[in-house]
Amino acid sequence: METRKPPVAVAEMLIRAPVEKVFGAMTDPEITSKFWFSRGSGPLEAGKEVRWDWEFYGVSSNVAVREFERNRRVLFEWWSDGEKPTTVEWKFTARPDGTTFLSAANWGFEGEGAVEHAIGSTEGFTLVLAGLKAYLEHGIGLTLVRDRFPDGVGGEA
């Protein structure tokens, strides 16, 4: 079990869909690419390492799955080339009414910009969960992540 160290980014959302559907949307890049990144090299699975690409920004992240409990939890480390990994944990809670409560936490930020990185991660995961909700509940691709930086990450077109 991983120990969270401050600062910790947290975003949570009720998704009106069964846990199997929500879990699948977050772990299968064919679905995840509809509301978050543009391409993934493969599905998230126990012990697997994949790459996620945001082609519209020209950036990518490496993802190493550390713990994987189908329909319950995924713990992974992720990093861009040249950066130190941070840890992400997704918890999927099936509710009696057939909905799912999804919690995303990201920690391991260090150094002078740690608080700013945690704030940015909170914002990012909030957009991801809102995009997931719109996609699964209404079939709408809001392009929230793509539209967050219309001039490119850091204002670079």
CA–CA separation, 91 and 74 (whole Å): 7
- In this prediction, residue 152 carries a pLDDT of 83
62-88 average pLDDT score: 96
* Window from 50-54, 89-93, 111-115 with minimum mean pLDDT: 111-115
pLDDT tens sequence across 5-36: 789 999 999 999 999 999 999 999 999 999 99
CA–CA separation, 37 and 25 (whole Å): 12
CA angle, residues 101, 110, 108, in degrees to nearest 5:
30
- In this prediction, residue 154 carries a pLDDT of 66
Identify the CA nearest to 135 among candidates 34, 51, 16. 34
Q: How far is CA 12 from CA 1, 18, 42, 100, 156, in A?
A: 21, 16, 25, 11, 30
- In this prediction, residue 20 carries a pLDDT of 98
72-93 average pLDDT score: 96
- Structural domains in the chain, CATH included, are 9-146 (3.30.530.20)
Percent of the chain with pLDDT over 70: 95
44 burial type by CB count under 10 A (0-12 exposed, 13-18 middle, 19+ buried): buried
CA–CA separation, 87 and 14 (whole Å): 22
pLDDT tens sequence across 101-145: 999 999 999 999 999 999 999 999 999 999 999 999 999 999 999
